Amino acid sequence: MNATDHTPADLLRSALATDPARPLVTFYDDATGERVELSVATFSNWVAKTANLLQGDLAAGPGDRVALLLPAHWQTAVWLLACASVGAVADVGGEAGAADVVVSGPDTLDAARACSGERVALALRPLGGRFPQTPDGFVDYAVEVPSQGDRFQPYAPVDPEEPALIVAGAEYTGAEVVERARADAAGLGLKGPGSRMLSGLSYDTWEGLSAGLYAPLATGGSVVLCRHLERLDEKALDKRIESERVTARAAGRSAG
């Protein structure tokens, strides 16, 4: 992170320039046993490919609204940063009918069909696996994203003062996301590079997004993002905290 970072995409670029090999997002799904760890470089590559899909194939640009009907998941984090890279507004849990593009997990496909624009479906299977059969009316993210370019360049510069995120009814510009994430860091126990946050919070509130992505990114830290954390007993949770070298923990035991 540096003082010239004004959007979440800027934060990711700075992280990539500083230490591309360090872990950025470690994801657990305690309903399936899945664990995925993405370095800054690997996460950035997923973001670039997704941003190219969003801007190119889905024709989204600055100001377009992308409804993210997704749980707290490493692929959701990728989509949040891809939207920031394009300049599109990430509307977390937003109304599909009001969106230009909708991105849906397997449990929200019916709601997502209200979108008259482009529709993307994520199977949210281990290792980024695809649907056995692509849902009608959608493109399968896991099918479309691998062929996208590894580098991304927006068609138009992203204005940090334009809307970038909507969550829980509140709208934030890119600059506000960065500012709030930095301001949250101390209260969350993030003390700078090397800090490692464990979050079991849902992504449907600012607090969940900050603890589960933005604040660690803004401070040079990393996140252990846990879905279905309530399935762990205290002994198993303590073991994870130790094995993952967690230095801070967000309140809550459930990442939906």
- The predicted-structure confidence for 142-167, as pLDDT tens digits, reads as follows 999 999 999 999 999 999 999 999 99
**Residue 170 counted as domain residue:** yes
| Per-residue pLDDT at 35 exceeds 70 | yes
Kindly state whether residue 173 falls inside one of the protein's structural domains.
yes
Q: Length of the chain in residues, anyone?
A: 256
> Phi/psi zone of residue 9: left (φ > 0), alpha (ψ -120 to 50 degrees), beta?
alpha
3 inside domain: no
In a domain, 255, yes or no: no
pLDDT surpasses 70 at 255: no
Cα 251 from Cα 148, distance rounded (Å): 37
1 lies in some domain: no
Task: List, in sequence order, every residue forming a beta bridge with 120; answer none if it has no partner.
Answer: 103, 139
Give residue-wise pLDDT tens across range 74-109.
Answer: 999 999 999 999 999 999 999 999 999 999 999 999
Residue 256 lies in a domain: no
| pLDDT score recorded for residue 256 | 56
CATH number of the CATH domain containing 74? 3.40.50.12780
Q: Kindly state whether residue 13 falls inside one of the protein's structural domains.
A: yes
Q: How confident is the model at residue 249, as a pLDDT?
A: 96
Q: Rounded to whole angstroms, how far apart are CA atoms 213 and 116?
A: 30
The domain containing residue 191 runs over which residues?
Answer: 8-249
Q: How many domains does the chain have?
A: 1
- The 10s digit of each residue's pLDDT in 177-232 is 999 999 999 999 999 999 999 999 999 999 999 999 999 999 999 999 999 999 99
Q: Specify if 138 maps to a domain.
A: yes
Rounded CA separation 120/58 (Å): 9
* pTM of the predicted protein model: 0.96
Hey, how many other C-beta atoms are within 10 angstroms of the C-beta on 60?
25
